[in-house]
Amino acid sequence: MEGPNGGAPAAGAAPAAGAAAPAAVTFESLKGLQGDAFTAILPDDIKAKPYAKDIKNYEDFVKKFDGAQTLLGQRNLPAATDPDEKWAEFHGKTRPEKPEGYAIPEIPGVPKEFVQKAVEGPILKGLLHKAGASPYQAKVLTTEIMGILFKAQQDMEAEKVKSTKAKDESFAKMAGDLFGANKDNVLANGKKFLAANLPEKVRPLLESLDEKQLTVVLAATDGMAKKFTGEDPFRGGGGNGGGGSGETKEALIAEMQNIMKDPAYADPLKDRVKNTELNQKMEVIRGKLKVLSVGK
């Protein structure tokens, strides 16, 4: 039966009388399709999929479907509660066989020597391997970590230089305020003064003192000498070995004699404070005599 104006039957119209009904689709009919005949019944977008290249018949299609469903039902990552062996099996698919297998790239802004020292040893590569890092993950991690570590080292070194410079400037000012412009001569005379008054076994330690340490010791010695004697133990003109300002052996001996005449020197019960002061003065004078005997 024709449609209006003699055309094809209208959509939804009943098949013409005597026309054969479409064949029913059965498992047997699908199973009989092979190669291009089977592929022809697939939608065009499915035909274009890479996995469709292996589908040549209905059986192939069913196997593909079953395999996909099986994979969907499997967990891709082990759970946090899974044993180490399961994680090792999972990581073994992507990480190198041994830690040495990681290739560490050049890192912009970081010296090669710094990277080699930090990475090429067994520690970092061993940690990357233990963590199951893939080569790509190792590249990202080492690049970021080395950049952070190198910057931190540079910042620490810069801060150290800045701090050292500030301390040196502070020390120079302090030493100038303490000893004046003749600082070097004072330190030399002071060293002689200490050598003359220290026990023989301790004297070698003087040579191990740096300028700052020696300055601290001399400042303490200078302060005590001035406090108890009013004398300068090592700022002399240098002609007497640093033992005072023009002091002579005779003058020092006379001063000792005057101290010994004081009753408080011989009897501490009379005046303990004065006895202590006089004894300290006597020790300073003895030190000056030793310096005079040592000379320059």
Q: Quick one: pLDDT at residue 237?
A: 42
Comparing 110 with 28, the larger pLDDT belongs to: 110
Let me know if 60 is exposed, middle or buried by CB neighbors in 10 A (0-12, 13-18, 19+). Answer: middle
pLDDT at 1 over 50: no
Q: What is the DSSP string of 86-101?
A: HHHHHHTTTS-SSGGG
Give the residue with greater pLDDT, 113 vs 25. 113
**Across 49-73, average pLDDT:** 75
pLDDT of residue 239: 37
pLDDT above 60: residue 295 = no
Averaged pLDDT score across all residues of the chain: 74
How much is the pLDDT for 25?
Answer: 65
Phi, psi (degrees; rounded to nearest 5) at 86: -70, -40
193: nearest Cα among 174, 221, 167, 169: 221
Do 129 and 98 form a contact (C-beta atoms < 8 A)? yes
CA distance 175 to 183: 7
222 or 21, which is more confident: 222
Please answer whether residues 118 and 146 qualify as being in contact, where contact means their C-beta atoms are separated by less than 8 angstroms. yes
Q: Which of 278, 232, 231 is nearest to 257 (CA)?
A: 278
What are the boundaries of each domain within the chain? 26-61, 84-157, 183-294
Q: Which range has highest mean pLDDT (22-31, 186-195, 199-208, 245-254)?
A: 199-208
What local confidence, expressed as pLDDT, does residue 191 receive? 74
Band (pLDDT 50/70/90 cuts) for residue 13 is: low
- Interatomic CA distance for residues 19 and 99, integer angstroms: 75
CB contact set of 93 (below 8 Å; sequence gap of 6+): none
Q: Angle CA(197)–CA(277)–CA(183) in degrees, nearest 5?
A: 45
- Binned at pLDDT 50, 70 and 90, residue 120 comes out as low
Structure confidence at residue 228 (pLDDT): 56
Question: Could you tell me which residues are beta bridge partners of residue 3?
Answer: none
Report how far residue 158's alpha carbon sits from residue 48's, in angstroms, rounded to the nearest whole number.
62
Question: Looking at per-residue confidence, does 53 or 21 come out higher?
Answer: 53
Instruction: State the Cα–Cα distance between residues 217 and 219, nearest whole angstrom.
Output: 5
129 closest CA partner among 102, 168, 160, 150: 102
pLDDT at 23: 62
- Distance in Å from the first CA to the final CA of the chain: 140
Structure confidence by residue, pLDDT tens digits, 215-242: 777 777 766 656 655 555 555 543 333 4
pLDDT band at 285 (very low <50, low <70, confident <90, very high): confident
Question: Tokens 């001569």 appear where?
Answer: 185
Alpha helices in 23-76 (DSSP H): 27-31, 36-39, 44-47, 58-72
Which pLDDT belongs to residue 243? 42
pLDDT of residue 76: 65
* Averaged pLDDT for residues 23-28: 69
The alpha carbon of 95 is separated from its chain's Cα centroid by a whole number of angstroms, namely 27
